[in-house]
Amino acid sequence: MKIEDTWNSIETEKIALGEGEVLESIHKKRTNVMTKLQKKLIAKLIFAITFTIAYTLVLFFVKDLLVISLFAFLIFVHLLAIAYFLKEYRDMQKLIPMDGNVLETLKEFQKRILRVIKSEETGGLILYPVAISAGFFFSILSNRTMEELMMDRWIWVFWIGLMIAFTPIGNRMAKKLNKKAFGEQLNRLQEMIDDLESVNENSKP
């Protein structure tokens, strides 16, 4: 009986040691991973600000009401995106101290990052056609009037073709760039979540 108790004690110590190593490893990696993911989010914020400034500058060279409306819409949506990115960044900052349940905190952080990425990709499906239209009509109306434009059906066919062709291309590129930018750190975050779930499962009586 004593031999069995000793063996069980050794096994328990091994499990505890393994769990301790896992937790220590996660403690070292988690802040680094979360910080890197936040930096990627800041890059998106800077990207949105840059485009907002660019669209605003273009407005000074636009006279046609249609083009002004298209660029104004782009600016409005980018301002919403900036506000959204800032809100998510602040909320993620609150999670980094990890004062509560580590596993739940990591899951919440992961959920927020994935939500930002998904929101950007979904919003792009609306923005790409508008951005294409803004650039297209800005170029066409620089040397033509709206009356001339209305009479040329091939221009409208070409415009529709541009939107149909470039909207899915833009969406695929956005997904590819997001995977390249966030993929590695998101995989590490998922590994930490899996390790913690494994530790919690082993800790159950």
Kindly report, residue by residue over 162-192, the tens digit of the pLDDT.
999 999 999 999 999 999 999 999 999 898 8
Task: In whole angstroms, give the CA distance from residue 205 to residue 173.
Answer: 48
- Residue 10 predicted with pLDDT over 60: no
DSSP 152: -
In this structure, of 101-115, 116-130, 140-154, the range with the lowest mean pLDDT score is 140-154
**SS3 state at 96:** coil
- Residue 90 predicted with pLDDT over 80: yes
Q: Decide which of 69 and 24 is more confident.
A: 69
- Residue 106 predicted with pLDDT over 70: yes
Task: In whole angstroms, give the CA distance from residue 55 to residue 49.
Answer: 10
Choose among 82, 45, 38, 74: nearest CA to 58. Answer: 74
**Are 134 and 74 spatial neighbours (Cβ–Cβ below 8 Å)?**
yes
Can you tell me the mean pLDDT for 109-136?
Answer: 91
DSSP 142: T
